[in-house]
Structure 1
Amino acid sequence: MKNFIDTNIALGYSLNCDKMHETCLEFISNNEDIFWSNNVKQEFQKKYEQIFQLIHNFMLMTSSIVNTIQKSFINYYSFEKFILDNTKDSALDIYKKTKIIEFFWENNNINYNISPLETLIRFNQFLANYDYSHDSRKKELENLIELYDCGLNNYLKYPKLLKKLIKSGVHNPDYKIVLDAHDFGFTSDVCFITTDLNLIQLIKDCKLLNIMEFKTCT
C-alpha cells in the first residue's frame, strides 16, 4: 500500500519545534512508499517558510529582550517565564516558543553563574546556527518523499466529488489534497495519512473516494 501524506505530516517532520515532530519523524522513518502530490508539496513549502519566519522573528525578539533587560536566571523555568512574558506580541504559538527555549537552554548549559552578556552571546550563536540549519530537515524530507505528479488542478476532474466534499465542510486546500489522493487510488492502493482528526472525520464516510484506508498520525 502507498502512503499519501497530508501537509501537516511534512511540517511536523521538518520543524523540530512542532508538537507533532516526534510522531511524524517516527512515521516517516519507519515507513516506505510515502508520496505527496503537487498541491501538498506547494502548500508545505509555503507554510514552512511562513512558520520559519515566525520562528526567526521570535528569536530576534528574544535576543533583543535578553540584550535590553540584562539579568541572570536561577533555573530554566525562570528563563522560560521571562521570555514568554516578554514575547506576547510574537505570533508564534506557545508550544513552539517553549520548545525553542528548551533547545537553547539544554544545548548551552545555562545556569545562574553565567552573566547576562554570556547568555546573550550564546543565544545569538544559537540563533545563527538555527538559521543556518533550518533547511536541512526540509531538504531531507523532500529527498525521502516521492511525488505523485498529478498537477495542481487535478481536483477539477472530479466536480461531483468536489461539491460533496465542500458540502461536508472540507475547505481549500484540503479538498484538493483529498482528491489528489483519490486520483492516486486509481493506480495504487492508497492510505491517506494526516494529523488532522477533524479532516478524517469529514471524509472517511465518503464512499465515493477511491482511498482504501485513512489514518491519523497522533
Structure 2
Amino acid sequence: MNTAFLDTNIIISWIFLINSLHPKSVDVFKSYSQFFWSSSVVKELEKKFNVKSKNLIRFFLDLQKFLENPEKDLYSISDLIDFANEHCSKQLLDEVKSSVKPFWSEYLGIQSRIPFFDMKNAIDFCLNDLLLNLDINKRGIEEIMQLSPQRNNDYSQIDAMLESFGVHEEDRKIILDGHDFACFSTQPVDFVTFDDDCFNGAKNLDFLCFNSVKGKYDFTAS
C-alpha cells in the first residue's frame, strides 16, 4: 500500500475548491491508498479551516451586497481584485486575493469579462458551497484520515536543524510527527506538503525516516 503522511495545507487545499492548489491536492489523494495525520495537523486544521472559511464567506457576502447596485455591465478578475483591495483589511487581503482566480475558474470558466448577472449568480453558487459544502468536505476528509500514534520523542537535534533551515515551529512539529510515525511504520511513508519552507526543510535532512518528501511540484493539476 502507498502511504502518505499529510501536512495541513494538503487537506485545506482539498476542502476549499477555490484554492489554487486544489487540483494538486486531488492528485495527492489519487496517488496514495492510506493517509495519516497527527494531532498537530488536526489542531492546525481546525484553526486554519475556521479562519479561512470565515474570511471567504465575509468577502463574498460583501461582494454580493456590493453587486446589488452594479457599477458596470461587465466584470473581470481585475475588478474583483480591485474590490478586495478597497474593502478588505490587510489581514484578509492575501487570503482573498489568492482565491479570486480559482473562484473565477471554478464558477465562471475561461471568459475574461462576464456580464453582471452571471457574476451575481456565480457569487451565489460560491456562497452556497462555502456555507453548505465546506463542512461536508471536511467530514469527508476526516473519514479517510488515520491518526498517527502520539509522539513521545522531542527529536531536539532534528528540531534545531529544521529551525536553522527556516522552518516554523508548527511545521517542525508536523515534520517530526511524520518522521516518528515513519520510523515505526511497517510500510514506506511519504511526507507530503505544499509549503515550500516545510518541503525544503524536510528534503534537506536525508536521515529522516520518510521514503520520500513530496511537494506541490510533484503533483499535477489536471
Shorter-chain TM-score tier? 0.7 to 0.9
Distance 1:131 1:195 in 2: 26
Question: Which residue in 2 is equivalent to 1:196?
Answer: 195
Q: Tell me what 1:165 maps to.
A: 162
Instruction: Give aligned pairs, total.
Output: 205
Q: What is the aligned partner in structure 2 of residue 176 from structure 1?
A: 173
1:147, distance to aligned residue in structure 2 (A) = 1.1
Any stretches of 5+ residues in structure 1 without a counterpart?
none
Distance 2:137 2:179 in 1: 28
- Structure 2 equivalent of residue 186 of structure 1: 183
Amino acid at match of 2:14: Y
- 1:114-159 per-residue CA deviation (whole Å, 9 max, x = no partner) reads 5xxx975874565245312221111111111111131xxx375322
TM-score normalised over the length of structure 2 = 0.79
**One-letter amino acid of the structure 2 residue matched with residue 177 of structure 1:** I
Give the whole-Å Cα distance in 2 for the aligned partners of 1:202 and 1:112: 46
DSSP-derived class of the 1:157 partner: coil
Aligned amino acid, residue 97 of structure 1? V
**Aligned-partner Cα distance in 2 for 1:126–1:14:** 14
Structure 1 residue 216 corresponds to structure 2 residue 219: no
Confirm or deny: 8 A CA contact 1:8 1:194 kept in the other structure. yes
Q: Does 1:7 align with 2:37?
A: no
Partner secondary structure for residue 183 of structure 2:
coil
What is the alpha-carbon distance in structure 2 between the residues aligned to residue 213 and residue 11 of structure 1?
A: 22
Looking at structure 2, the residues matched to 158 and 111 of structure 1 have their Cα atoms a distance apart, in angstroms, of 54
- Alignment CA distance shift 1:210-1:102 (3 Å): closer
After superposition, residues 72-91 of structure 1 pair within 5 angstroms as: 73-74=73-74, 78-88=75-85, 89-90=87-88, 91=92
What is the correspondence of 1:30-179 to structure 2 with a 5 Å cutoff? 30-67=31-68, 69-71=69-71, 73-74=73-74, 78-88=75-85, 89-90=87-88, 91=92, 92-105=95-108, 112=115, 114=117, 123-124=123-124, 126-150=126-150, 154=151, 157-179=154-176
Q: Distance in 1 between matches of 2:116 and 2:155?
A: 64
Check whether the contact 2:53–2:130 (CA below 8 A) recurs between aligned residues.
no
- CA drift of 1:52 comes to 0.8
Contact 1:27 1:217 in 2 (8 A): no
Cα pair distance change 1:140/1:113, threshold 3 Å: closer
Go from structure 1 to structure 2 and tell me whether the alpha carbon gap of 1:156 and 1:104 turns closer, same or farther (over 3 Å shift). same
The runs of 4+ residues in structure 1 deviating greater than 6 Å are none
Q: Give the % identical residues.
A: 20
**Cα 1:174–1:121 shift into 2, 3 Å:** closer
Q: 1:198 to 1:171 in 2, by over 3 A?
A: closer
Q: Which whole-Å CA distance do the structure 1 matches of 2:116 and 2:172 have between them?
A: 54
Distance, in Å, in 1 between the alignment partners of 2:195 and 2:120 is 38
TM-score, normalised via structure 1 length: 0.80
- Conserved? CA contact 1:185–1:211, under 8 Å: yes
Structure 1 position 100, deviation (Å): 2.6
Radius of gyration: which is bigger?
A: 1
Segment of structure 1 superposing worse, 47-56 or 97-106: 97-106
Q: Does the CA contact (< 8 Å) of 2:3 and 2:32 recur in 1?
A: no
Amino acid at match of 1:136: I
